[in-house]
A and B are shown apart, each in its own frame.
Chain A
Amino acid sequence: MMSCVRATERMSRALDQQLSPMDRLQLRIHTLMCKDCLCCHKQLIQLHNICQKRSTFDSDSDLKP
Chain B
Amino acid sequence: MNSSVDQIEARLEAVRPRLLAFARLQLSDDALAEDKVQDTLLAAFESQHRFAGQSKFETWVFAILKNKLIDEIRRRSRELTTEFDADQVVEFDQMFDERAHWVSGKQPEHWVQPEASFQHDQFWQLFDICVFHLPKGTARVFTMRELLGVETEEICDSLGLSQQNVWVMLHRARLKIRGCLEKSWFGREAVPQ
Task: Tell me the A residues contacting B by CB distance below 8 Å.
Answer: 3-6, 8-9, 12-13, 15-17, 36-37, 39-40, 43-44, 46-60, 62-63
Residues of B within 8 A of A59 (CB): 60, 63-64, 66-67
Contact residues on B (Cβ < 8 Å of other chain), bracket: 35 or more
Residues of A within 8 A of B60 (CB): 57, 59, 62
Q: Is B183 an interface residue (CB 8 A)?
A: no
Q: Which A residue's beta carbon lies closest to that of B93?
A: A5
Q: What 3 A-B pairs have minimum CB-CB distances, sorted nearest first?
A: A3-B100, A59-B63, A39-B108
Complex Cα–Cα for A60 and B47 (A): 11
Q: Summarize B's interface: helix, strand, loop or mixed.
A: helix
Q: Is B188 an interface residue (CB 8 A)?
A: no
Task: Tell me the B residues contacting A by CB distance below 8 Å.
Answer: 43, 47, 50-51, 54-55, 59-60, 62-64, 66-67, 96, 99-102, 107-111, 114-115, 117-118, 124, 145-149, 151-152, 167-168, 170-171, 174-175, 177-178, 181-182
A-B contact count (CB 8 A): 106
Tell which of A9, A16, A40, A52 has the most Cβ of chain B within 10 Å: A16
- The answer on a CB contact under 8 Å between B148 and A55 is yes
Q: Which A residue's beta carbon lies closest to that of B178?
A: A43
- The answer on a CB contact under 8 Å between A54 and B59 is yes
